[in-house]
A and B are shown apart, each in its own frame.
Chain A
Amino acid sequence: AQTVTQSQPEMSVQEAETVTLSCTYDTSESDYYLFWYKQPPSRQMILVIRQEAYKQQNATENRFSVNFQKAAKSFSLKISDSQLGDAAMYFCAYRSASGNFNKFYFGSGTKLNVKP
């Protein structure tokens, strides 16, 4: 079974600084997707960034970028120029890319605090 591990329960960053959230996963599959989701107090899971395992190039979305190390099964999220609105729970998630009806496996989350 696939597992996702986030070893940092809580992190803090100064506004305008850079922070990196860590995630490792375990799978025997070769074709899969990895995601970072943000969950603010409004509770809705918001997609931050997505990485296809077959792509070697790391995904970027504005201030958000990932460091995807397939062999090490590591998938970290870097947030540059942190903003107060970035404060939230961040979840790393895995989903198989083979077949249909695939479910997400989520990590336990990292609470990000942004200090003004």
Chain B
Amino acid sequence: DAGVTQSPTHLIKTRGQQVTLRCSPKSGHDTVSWYQQALGQGPQFIFQYYEEEERQRGNFPDRFSGHQFPNYSSELNVNALLLGDSALYLCASSLPTGTGVGGYTFGSGTRLTVV
């Protein structure tokens, strides 16, 4: 299956620590978006990467940063973790327009717990 792969699936960190989450996009997709889904809420857009650059950013502090590699995979980094950062982090891949065959494909997410 050439869908979106995220790692790790679960993670427990302590307040103040830093974390890196990883995402491999679906084959043929070159754009990666990250979403934060707090418990009982819908996903909220963090940022989007294309051609190794951040193209758009949601209302998240600078503690949230990202990177895209030449093979289109991406990382989400969160510094100085707060209890409120506990959430499911979803990665979605697409083409820049988000349309066409395949559209957007979501991964199964990384469940981050901050204690």
Chain A positions near chain B (C-beta within 8 angstroms): 4, 6, 37, 42-47, 50, 91, 93, 95, 97, 100-109
**Interface pair B33/A103, CB less than 8 Å apart:** yes
**Interface pair A101/B96, CB less than 8 Å apart:** yes
- Contact of B71 with A by CB under 8 A: no
CA distance in complex: A97, B99 (Å): 9
**Interface pair B56/A103, CB less than 8 Å apart:** yes
Total cross-chain contacts (CB, 8 A): 59
Set of chain A residues within 8 Å of B42, measured between Cβ atoms = 4, 6, 91, 93, 106-109
Set of chain B residues within 8 Å of A105, measured between Cβ atoms = 45
**Interface pair A44/B108, CB less than 8 Å apart:** yes
**Interface pair B43/A106, CB less than 8 Å apart:** yes
CA distance in complex: A3, B23 (Å): 27
Q: Could you pull out 16 A-B pairs where Cβ atoms are within 8 angstroms?
A: A4-B42, A42-B108, A44-B109, A45-B92, A45-B106, A50-B103, A91-B43, A93-B42, A95-B98, A100-B96, A101-B50, A102-B98, A103-B33, A105-B45, A106-B43, A109-B41
**Interface pair A101/B43, CB less than 8 Å apart:** no
* Top-3 shortest CB links A-B: A106-B42, A45-B106, A103-B45
Given A45-B43, A45-B90, A106-B44, A100 contacting B97 (CB threshold 8 A): yes
CA distance in complex: A106, B88 (Å): 15
Set of chain A residues within 8 Å of B68, measured between Cβ atoms = none
User: Which residue of A47, A97, A106 contacts B103 across the interface (Cβ within 8 Å)?
Assistant: A47
- Contact of B48 with A by CB under 8 A: yes
